[in-house]
């Protein structure tokens, strides 16, 4: 089996690659293509003989035969929320146009590939019910969410037409991400744990009373793989599936850090409100009914402490205190 991960050199792409290479799926993985605009740096992935890394513009790669012989695609490549809000053209090109090229290239394959699309809770906003379900109307209040929601529609229609076997998965904010901050409006949720644990100061750009909907890297990867492995019948509706997560206020994230690493470390978080980030993140929902995903056996982290503990366990070298 040959699988492609777009955004494969990104944080989640690399985590997913490691999981897939353990052959958790039914058929053995013979080739794993990691396509990304950035070069692949993970040494273990670079060294794996089953891994082929392709660097450059996704649309161009697709034109150049990226999908040749591919059985399945995890489409993670995207411009992040802060970037899309700052420049709508970047978002439209990266998130919408590239997905169009991907889907239209899928149509040329002899067998419709299975395709898992990582959408986001950012599709939701505006006037919402207190608890969000899969059948809640998304009313995106930012360009990133709009573009993700549009791609969901295209993937549902291409699936209906039989061009692909697509599954739309909406991820909660994935926290704690290792490494450097990116331009996602949600990036601080990782930063306020990661930086203090590494001995650095961190800024919390939203009111700590803000509620957020988060999951850990392990649960996010498990959700993506389950979406890939589940049969179309079990999957059901082509409407996107909200993955399970944890509903917490930002203050609780800082509290969990304090419990894990002490008051001195937690004191490295300074609240400094950023209007743009507060508007984007504050407009997202944070309470979800994920009955459909849970019926498939999917789950999320149970407590904020679990989430911090997972980071400390998975990235010990990033923890200096």
- Binding residues (CB under 8 A) for a second copy: these are 88, 92, 100, 126-127, 135-141, 143, 146, 149-150, 153-154, 156-157, 160-161, 237-239
What's the closest the beta carbon of residue 256 comes to a second copy, in angstroms? 34
Q: Which of 35, 293 has the CB closer to a second copy?
A: 293
Enter the tokens of residue 162.
């039989």
CB nearer to a second copy: pick between 29 and 155: 155
Question: How far apart are CB 77 and a second copy at their closest, in Å?
Answer: 20
Question: 47 or 135, CB closer to a second copy?
Answer: 135
CB of residue 148 to a second copy, shortest distance in Å: 10
Token pair of 100 as six digits: 């169009």
Which of residues 53 and 147 has its CB atom nearest to a second copy in the complex? 147
State how far the alpha carbon of 217 is from the alpha carbons of 155, 230, 292, 301, in Å: 24, 20, 20, 10
Q: By C-beta, is 68 or 160 nearer to a second copy?
A: 160
Which residues 6+ apart lie within 8 Å of 160 measured at CB? 238
- Which single residue is written with the structure tokens 């395709």? 115
Angle, vertex CA 152, rays to CA 142 and CA 42, nearest 5? 85
Active-site residue flag, 228: no
Q: What count of Cα atoms within 13 Å lies in the side-chain half-sphere of residue 110? A: 2
Nearer to a second copy by C-beta: 237 or 264? Answer: 237
Q: Taking the complex as a whole, how short is the minimal distance between the CB of residue 90 and a second copy, in angstroms?
A: 13
ω into residue 53 within 30 of 0, thus cis?
Answer: no
Shortest Cβ distance from residue 163 to a second copy (Å)? 8
Closest distance of CB 69 from a second copy, Å: 24
Which of 135, 144, 311, 315 is labelled catalytic? 144
Work out the number of other CB atoms within 10 angstroms of the CB of residue 155: 26
Burial bucket for residue 68 (CB in 10 Å: 0-12, 13-18, 19+)? exposed
Give the residue numbers marked as catalytic.
Answer: 144
């Amino acid at each position: 089996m040959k699988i492609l991960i777009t955004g494969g050199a990104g944080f989640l792409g690399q985590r997913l690659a490691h999981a897939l290479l353990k052959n958790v799926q039914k058929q053995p993985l013979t080739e794993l293509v990691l396509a990304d605009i950035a070069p692949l740096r993970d040494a273990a992935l670079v060294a794996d003989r089953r891994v082929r890394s392709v660097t450059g513009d996704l649309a161009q790669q697709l034109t150049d035969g990226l999908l040749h012989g591919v059985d399945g695609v995890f489409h993670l490549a995207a411009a992040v929320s802060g970037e899309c809000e700052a420049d709508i053209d970047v978002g439209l090109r990266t998130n919408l146009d590239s997905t169009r090229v991907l889907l239209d290239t899928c149509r040329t394959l002899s067998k419709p590939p299975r395709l898992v699309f990582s959408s986001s809770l950012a599709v939701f906003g505006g006037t919402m019910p207190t608890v969000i379900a899969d059948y809640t109307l998304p009313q995106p209040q930012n360009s990133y969410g709009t573009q993700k929601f549009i791609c969901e529609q295209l993937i549902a229609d291409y699936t209906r037409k039989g061009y692909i076997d697509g599954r739309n998965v909406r991820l909660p904010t994935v926290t704690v991400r290792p490494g450097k901050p990116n331009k996602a409006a949600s990036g601080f949720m990782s930063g306020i744990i990661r930086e203090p644990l590494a001995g650095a100061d961190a800024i919390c750009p939203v009111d700590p009373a803000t509620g957020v909907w988060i999951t850990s890297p392990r649960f996010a990867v498990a959700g993506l793989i389950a979406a890939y492995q589940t049969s179309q019948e079990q999957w059901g509706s082509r409407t996107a599936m909200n993955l399970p997560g944890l509903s917490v206020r930002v203050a609780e994230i800082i509290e969990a850090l304090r419990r894990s690493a002490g008051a001195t470390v937690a004191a490295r978080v300074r609240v400094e409100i950023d209007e743009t980030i507060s508007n984007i993140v504050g407009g997202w929902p944070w309470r979800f009914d994920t009955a459909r995903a849970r019926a498939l056996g999917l789950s999320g982290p149970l407590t904020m402490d679990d989430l911090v503990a997972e980071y400390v366990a998975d990235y010990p070298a990033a923890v200096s205190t």
